[in-house]
A and B are shown apart, each in its own frame.
Chain A
Amino acid sequence: AHWPNDAFTAETLEDAILASLGEAAEVDDTIIQFTIGSPPTYAVNGASVPVEINSSLDNIQRVVLLVEKNPYPLALMLEPTAAVSFPFKTMLKVAEDSEVIAMIRADDKLYRTSRYVEIDIGGCA
């Protein structure tokens, strides 16, 4: 299977976003959201931090989840078809206190939401 190595091994947030989503204008919109409490603003165990995203966007080309302070910020990339709808839930590892970011590329525009998560025990073992 094809796996975008350059995106997943990018070491800065900007590189990871560029490699995973490509270039597009970012729109300031609240059409993409995290569920309240998921991710939590404070998590004891960084090895499994629940993350749930919600959006009512159509024509979604790609969804990515990023953790800014992780060694490789890009955590997850989704390519949903029109049959898939939100919410999407998963668990991520978060190495240290960090911004957790969800981005969607739809109709060649980028949408972003983020939440700062504090971690008690880092989860990159």
Chain B
Amino acid sequence: MTVNAKDRIRAKLLEGQTVVRILLAHPMHTGRGKNEQDELVPAEFIQDIRCWRNKEEVLTIKCGTATSRNPYFAFQLNGGEMGDVIRLRWVDNLGAKGVAETKVV
């Protein structure tokens, strides 16, 4: 299944902290759900997400099937300044990949 929606990432400077919010577009099938024809939908879920600030890797998130559809994450980075590049890559259990990038505002 192709997903048409786009991954979104926002980063904002707030009281000296960089607040990062991530919304990925992914169905996150667990492998236990069924479709309208009562057939099992094969598992398809994001396993690994890595985030960078500029050249520095800051966070790794590993997901099981219990992460909601269209996964949402929010976290903070210490310090930071406007124009920092926040970048993330994700990969799912079928090998599909995605990247998203934003600048801190």
Binding site for B on A (CB under 8 A): 1-4, 8, 47-49, 67, 70-72, 74-94, 123-125
Q: Chain A residue with minimal CB distance to B29?
A: A125
Interface size class of B (residues with CB under 8 A): 20 to 34
Q: Nearest chain-A residue to B57 (Cβ)? A: A81
Give complex CA distance A125, B34 in Å: 7
- Chain B positions within 8 Å of A124 at CB level: 30, 32-33, 66
Apart from A48-B68, A91-B67: 17 A-B pairs, beta carbons within 8 A? A8-B62, A48-B69, A71-B32, A76-B66, A77-B61, A79-B61, A79-B62, A80-B59, A80-B60, A83-B56, A83-B59, A89-B73, A91-B68, A91-B71, A94-B66, A125-B33, A125-B34
Cα–Cα distance between A83 and B17 once the two chains are bound (Å): 10
Give B residues with C-beta under 8 Å from A: 17, 30, 32-34, 47-48, 50, 53, 56-69, 71-79, 91, 93
Bound Cα distance from A87 to B19, whole angstroms: 10
| A residues less than 8 Å from B65 (CB atoms) | 8, 72, 93
Q: How far is the CA of A75 from the CA of B59 in the complex (A)?
A: 17
User: Are the CB atoms of A47 and B68 closer together than 8 Å?
Assistant: yes
The CA of A47 and the CA of B65, in the complex, are separated in Å by 11
On whether A89 and B61 interact (CB within 8 A), knowing A3-B48, A83-B78, A124-B30, the answer reads: no
> Which of B62, B74, B79 lies in contact with A88, CB distance below 8 A?
B74
A-B contact pairs, 24 of them (CB 8 A): A1-B47, A3-B47, A3-B48, A3-B93, A4-B62, A72-B66, A76-B66, A79-B60, A81-B57, A81-B59, A83-B58, A83-B77, A83-B78, A84-B77, A84-B78, A85-B76, A85-B78, A86-B75, A91-B72, A92-B67, A93-B67, A94-B66, A124-B30, A124-B33
